[in-house]
Amino acid sequence: MRIGAHVDSAEPLVEAAARGADAVQFFLTDPQGYKSPKPREDAEQLRASEVDIYVHAPYIVNVASPNNRIRIPSRKLLVAHAKAAAEIGAKGLIVHGGHVGSGADLADGFANWRKAFEYAEKEGGLPLPILIENTAGGDNACARRFDDLARLWDAVGGFGAGFCLDTCHAFAGGEDLTGIVDRLKSITGRIDLIHANDSKGGFDSGQDRHDNLGSGKIDPELVVAAIRAAGAPAIVETPGGADGQSADIALLRERAGG
Ligand SMILES: [Zn+2]
C-alpha cells in the first residue's frame, strides 16, 4: 500500500524522505495562477525515483465553467499540466470537479467537461490519467453530490477519466463515508487515489478545511476503511509540515496495513 503526502514543489524527493512517504503530490505552478508549467531540472531524478509522483492541477482550473474566459484557459492549462506531469513520470494529474456557479445549469458543466476531453484529444491526447477529485463545496459543483457525479461520469467516463476520492471533501460535502467506496465504484467503476484528510468543518458544511487524522470531525477508522476497500494509494493533504504529515502517514500504515 503506497502512502504519501502533498508537499512543497521545490524538493519533493527530500520532502518524501523527511516523511517516510512512498508517494508525493505537488503543484507544478502557483495553484492560484494561470501560468503554464516550465520543464523541471529534477525531471530525470523524479522519473527514476522509487517514490510515486502525482501532480495536482491549479485550483483555478475549472473546465466546467460557463464563462469562456475561465473555461478556455482552464482547458489549455489542463493539457499543459498533463504534458508537464508526464515528463516527470507522474502517475496521474488530479483536478477538481469544478462548478458552474449559482443560477447556471449543471448540465452545461457536464457538457463542458466532455468538451475538455475532446479538446485534449485534438491536442494529441492526454499522456497520463486525469483524476477528477470530488469537492466539498463550490457553487453548483459537478463532483460534490454523488448523484451529480453520476451525471459527470456519463459525460467523461468514456474518455478514461480516473477518480480521486478526498475524504474531507466527501464528509464536508455531505456524503456519508460509511460504505463510500462501494457507492463510488458503482458510479465511476474505479478509485485511483485517495486524499486521506480529516475535516475541520462538520458534515455537509461545504467547508474545504483539511485537518490531521483524528484531529478533526471524521472518525479515522472510516478513512482507513476507505483506503482498504479501494485498495488505492493514499496521499495526506494535511497541515503540520513534515511532523504532522509523518504522524498521519504512520497512522495509516499501522491501521491500513501498508
Ligand atoms: Zn484533495
Q: What letter represents residue 81's amino acid? A: H
Q: 232: CA distance to ligand 1 center in Å? A: 14
Average pLDDT, the chain: 96
**95 lies in some domain:** yes
Distances from the Cα of 113 to the Cα of 104, 128, 234, 235, angstroms: 15, 17, 25, 25
**240 lies in some domain:** no
CA–CA dist 148, 135 (Å, integer): 12
Please compute the mean of the pLDDT values over residues 182-199 and round it to a whole number.
Answer: 98
Q: What are the counts of helices (DSSP H) followed by strands (DSSP E) for the chain?
A: 9, 10
Q: 28: CA distance to ligand 1 center in Å? A: 16
**63 lies in some domain:** yes
**Residue 165 backbone dihedrals phi, psi, to 5 degrees:** -95, 120
Q: Domain holding 116: CATH number?
A: 3.20.20.150
**247 lies in some domain:** no
Please compute the mean of the pLDDT values over residues 210-226 and round it to a whole number.
Answer: 98
pTM equals 0.97
Give the range of the structural domain holding residue 170, as residue numbers without chain letter: 3-235
Please compute the mean of the pLDDT values over residues 50-67 and round it to a whole number.
Answer: 97
Q: What percent of the chain clears pLDDT 70, i.e. is strictly above it?
A: 100
Number of domains within the chain: 1
Q: 164: CA distance to ligand 1 center in Å? A: 8
**203 lies in some domain:** yes
User: Would you state the pLDDT for residue 167?
Assistant: 98
Q: 205: CA distance to ligand 1 center in Å? A: 16
CA atoms within 13 A on the CB side of 121: 11
CA–CA dist 64, 85 (Å, integer): 21
